[in-house]
Amino acid sequence: MSFWIRFKDGRAPDPIALVAIVDAAYPAILEIGEPTSSTIELTVHVRARPAPGWLACRVVTRHVIGGYHEEDFEIWDADGKLVAQSRQLGLLAPG
């Protein structure tokens, strides 16, 4: 899943906002029909202060096995610089 994001009021993103964005975005498993998941573990690496403007985001889940899924998230700033990465382990809702 890929998308662009910025603050509605137009303010520049900051490193704390990057951490919030990786956890606030919809999980990639929605694309395969899984409605919800709960975070078990989340690690975020803030690599640089983002430039003002839009942020390009990409989130990928490669494995959904035994009720768990991983999610890799990247955030790129308006200058094309990778500013944050995260990995999350999630538990699917019982079904």
How do residues 49-61 score in pLDDT, each as one tens digit?
Answer: 999 999 999 999 9
User: Strands 55-60 and 82-92, how do they pair?
Assistant: unpaired
Backbone phi, then psi, for 21, in 5-degree steps?
Answer: -60, -45
Banded pLDDT at 37 (limits 50, 70, 90): confident
Domain 2-92 annotated CATH 3.10.129.10: yes
Instruction: Kindly report whether the global pTM for this prediction surpasses the value 0.95.
Output: no
